[in-house]
Amino acid sequence: MKKHRHINWDALGITTSVLCAIHCAFLPLAVAALPVLGIDLVHSPTFEYGMILLAFLIGTGALWHGFRRHHHRLTPWMLFVAGMICLIGKQVWREWELVILPLAVGFIVSAHILNYRLSRLGHAVSARPVQLSPVDGSTSSASSGQSSAAA
């Protein structure tokens, strides 16, 4: 007999919060020390395009899952593509980086929030699918166990 492991979401949340606090405390120190070592990651085109590629891969995976399994809507994709175009645009027009970057982040975050909401809505709607009866055209709920012909 297999044992099912129970995930303690509170412990996971506490662990994540502590790791986030450590990360937030020490990352600025590490980034500030990199130029002393001759490393400039912040303005490295290779690093920047690598991060854009990583955002594209993760975003595409998340949006594809929601699109394919839950909602089949293109709006999250359009927002995501707009955000990715802005991310590449900030690399091309460096003098506008501080204007373009918030737009990119706004589009990408909006795409993920909309994808999440549509996915959750897809779960609620798919819980009780409505079927059309071929006999008389009336609708019935598949979860009720009755068909319109039996009524």
Pairing mode, if any, of strands 139-141 and 130-132?
Answer: antiparallel
The pLDDT of residue 1: 54
CA neighbor of 43 nearest in space, from 90, 103, 102? 90
At residue 6, the pLDDT reads 66
Tokens of 49: 């395009």
- Label residue 110 exposed, middle or buried (CB < 10 Å: 0-12, 13-18, 19+): middle
The pTM (predicted TM-score) of the whole model is: 0.60
C-alpha distances out from residue 101 to 50, 75, 76, 79, 83, Å: 16, 21, 19, 14, 9
pLDDT of residue 41: 66
Q: What is the pLDDT of residue 125?
A: 54
**The predicted structure's pLDDT at residue 151:** 40
Separation of first and last alpha carbons in the chain: 43
User: What pLDDT, on the 0 to 100 scale, is given for residue 149?
Assistant: 46
Task: Give the pair of three-digit tokens for residue 121.
Answer: 């809505």
Angle at 22 between CA 19 and CA 23, to 5 degrees: 85
pLDDT tens over the chain, length 151 residues? 566 666 666 566 667 777 766 766 776 777 777 777 777 766 778 888 988 898 888 888 888 888 988 889 999 999 999 999 999 999 999 899 889 988 998 899 888 889 888 988 876 555 444 455 565 555 554 444 444 444 4
